[in-house]
Amino acid sequence: MGASNISPGMREFQECVSDIEAFDINSSGMHFTWIHLHKLKGRSVWDIKARGSISWGWRKILSIRNAVRPFIWKIARSGSQINAWSDNWCQFSPLNSFITPRSIANAGFNINTNLADLIDENGQWKWPSAWYDIYPVLIGLHAPPLTQNLVDRTIWKDLEGNTRPFGSMEVWHNTRHREQPVSWVNGVWFSQCIPRHSFHLWLVIKNKLKTQDRLASWEAGSDYNLRLMCCPLCKHDRDSRDHLFFSCSFASQVWYNVKDLLNMGEVNDSWQSIMNWMDQKANSKKTEHIVCKLVIAAASYFIWHERNNCLFSNKVANVNAVCDKIKNTVRLRLMGFNFKGGSHNQSIQEKWKLLPSDEDKDPG
Ligand SMILES: [Zn+2]
């Protein structure tokens, strides 16, 4: 497909394809052909400048180069599809990170020189021996064996340098922004957690629930209803994350009721107090702490549930009903636990009524 015989309709179609398709790492398909023939024109994708009137899609593709470059590698087979200077094909790649354009030009090469052009028929480097003095790192670099007419391969390497099958999950995992794990991560996500409770608790910790204090920032238009808002559970003031979990008089009763079944010491009904506990115990694998984590997540989940029921269905909040829901759900989870011996675990099982009672025992 040459540039000169493309009809306007075809050109439009190709523009669409180039706008919507992702970078084709397998080096196959029409998109790849189109990009190579008409966008790159023989140049390396790593070298061209994102200037002028280029399409939105192509500009986007070019803008992610720095993010994906460390992961895209070439396996040399014929060497003719590998840019010697800008592609990743050896442990010192890209070579143009230390070999200057002037050196390249003075040695009789150019920026489009491919790997095959650098190796003579005896399998030796063609670059001047003076380069070994200027760039001693090249001394340890052996020319890869090449076979004519084979297609070079493009592969994806992960953060550890292992070759991985290319896929969106792999790309996301390798390129996503990472920060230090937060201190409470294992207090929210742990193998015995109840996923929907954990997801909710995560929203609570990040203060992302649509509580009334956060809706108040939309109040600029003097919306009458917003000014009338009060916590649906205790009818006092607007609700907020710190109010609902668990200093609200309703939530506080629920919290202290279920906390009776836990060994949480001095923790009170303030959110700060609970997060302080998380800081210390989030990583604990002790059964007593896992039960606490399950209860914190379940309590915040069911109190939020009750709050929404009262707000949207005009229900009257009921402390005992919420406590029962929390206890029953956590108890159901604990029934799947494999409690080891020890008086401590025995007392957890007693508190949560996990031991068979006398009536349940088979009389024989
Ligand atoms: Zn309240």
CA-based nearest residue to 40, from 22, 62, 9: 62
Compute the distance from residue 234 Cα to the ligand 1 centre, in Å: 4
- Distance of CA 261 from the midpoint of ligand 1 (Å): 23
Tokens 């949480």 found at: 264
Residue ranges making up the domain that contains 20:
1-63
Distance 325 CA to ligand 1 centre (A): 19
| pLDDT the model gives residue 12 | 56
**315, two tokens:** 């229900």
What is residue 102's predicted lDDT score, i.e. its pLDDT? 94
Q: pLDDT digits over 135-146, tens only?
A: 999 999 999 999
Assigned domain for 129 exists: yes
Whole-number pLDDT of residue 21: 47
Question: How far does residue 241's CA lie from ligand 1's centre (Å)?
Answer: 10
Q: Are residues 294 and 209 in the same domain?
A: yes
CA of 260 to the centre of ligand 1 (A): 21
Residue 132 lies in a domain: yes
Within 13 A of 143's CA, how many CA atoms are on the CB side? 19
Mean pLDDT check: name the lowest of 51-65, 86-100, 347-361: 347-361
User: Which of the pair, 43 or 206, is modelled with greater confidence?
Assistant: 206
Q: Is residue 362 part of a domain?
A: no
Instruction: Give distance in angstroms: CA of 232 to centre of ligand 1.
Output: 7
**Which range is least confidently modeled, 26-40, 111-125, 170-184?**
26-40
The residues placing their C-beta within 5 Å of ligand 1, an ion, are 231, 233-234, 248
pLDDT band at 342 (very low <50, low <70, confident <90, very high): confident
**How far does the centroid of ligand 1 lie from the alpha carbon of residue 264, in Å?**
23
Instruction: Give domain status of residue 263, yes or no.
Output: yes
Spatial separation of the C-alpha atoms in residues 305 and 245, rounded to whole Å:
12
pLDDT at 314: 81
| pLDDT over threshold 50, residue 162 | yes
Residue 219 CA, ligand 1 centroid: distance in Å: 20
DSSP calls for 191-247: TT--HHHHHHHHHHHTT-S--HHHHGGGGGGT-HHHHT---TTT-SS---HHIIIII
The CA radius of gyration of the chain, in Å to the nearest whole number, is 32
- How many folded domains does the chain comprise? 3
Q: Cα(226) to centroid of ligand 1, in Å?
A: 16
Name the residue with higher pLDDT: 221 or 82: 82
Query: Stretch 13-29: mean pLDDT, rounded?
Result: 51
Centre of ligand 1 to C-alpha 32, Å, is 60
One domain, residues 160 and 242: no
The predicted pLDDT at position 20 comes to: 47
Q: What is the pLDDT of residues 256-265, one digit of tens each?
A: 999 999 989 8
**CB of 109 within 8 A of CB of 115?**
no
Pick the last residue of a domain from 63, 80, 110.
63
- Are 150 and 85 members of one domain? yes
Contact (Cβ atoms closer than 8 angstroms) between residue 107 and residue 146: no
Joined tokens for residue 279: 């800081």
Residue 360 in domain: no
CA–centroid distance, residue 317 to ligand 1 (Å): 10
Q: Is residue 233 scored above 60 in pLDDT?
A: yes
202 vs 358: CA distance, rounded Å: 40
Of 126, 125, 117, 110, residue with least CA distance to 148: 117
246 in the same domain as 197: yes
- Alpha carbon of 152 to ligand 1 centroid (Å): 66
C-alpha 238 – ligand 1 centre gap (Å) = 8
- Å from CA of 272 to ligand 1 middle: 17
Q: Which of 178, 199, 218 is the last residue of a domain?
A: 178
Judge if 233 and 275 occupy the same domain: yes
Say if residue 56 is in the same domain as residue 74: no
Q: Are residues 171 and 312 in the same domain?
A: no
312 Cα to the center of ligand 1, angstroms = 15
359 within some domain: no
In this structure, the answer to whether residues 49 and 74 fall within a common structural domain is no
Tell how far the Cα of 304 is from the centroid of ligand 1, in angstroms.
11
Cα 250 to ligand 1 centroid, rounded to whole Å: 6
* Cα–Cα dist 340/363, whole Å: 26
| pLDDT band with cut points at 50, 70 and 90 for residue 178 | confident
Q: What is the pTM of this model?
A: 0.63
The helix (H) or strand (E) run that includes residue 313 is: helix 287-313
Within a 10 A sphere around the Cβ of 68, how many other Cβ atoms? 15
For residues 262 and 290, state if they share a domain. Answer: yes
Tell me if residue 301 falls in helix, strand or coil: helix
Whether 222 maps to a domain, the answer reads: yes
Per-residue pLDDT of 289-333, as tens digits, reads 999 999 999 999 999 999 999 988 888 889 999 999 999 999 999
The amino acid at 113: T
Task: Establish if 356 belongs to a structural domain.
Answer: no
Domain end position, chosen among 178, 207, 229: 178
Is 171 found in the same domain as 33?
no
Q: Each residue of 91-107: b (16+ CB within 10 Å) or e?
A: eebbbbeebeeebbeeb
319 C-alpha to ligand 1 centroid (Å): 12
* Ligand 1 centroid, distance to 237 Cα (angstroms): 7
- Report CA(78)–ligand 1 centroid distance (Å): 72
Whether residue 338 sits in one domain with residue 256: yes
| Statement to judge: residues 84 and 32 lie in one domain | no
Alpha carbon of 209 to ligand 1 centroid (Å)? 15
| 240 Cα–ligand 1 center, Å | 9
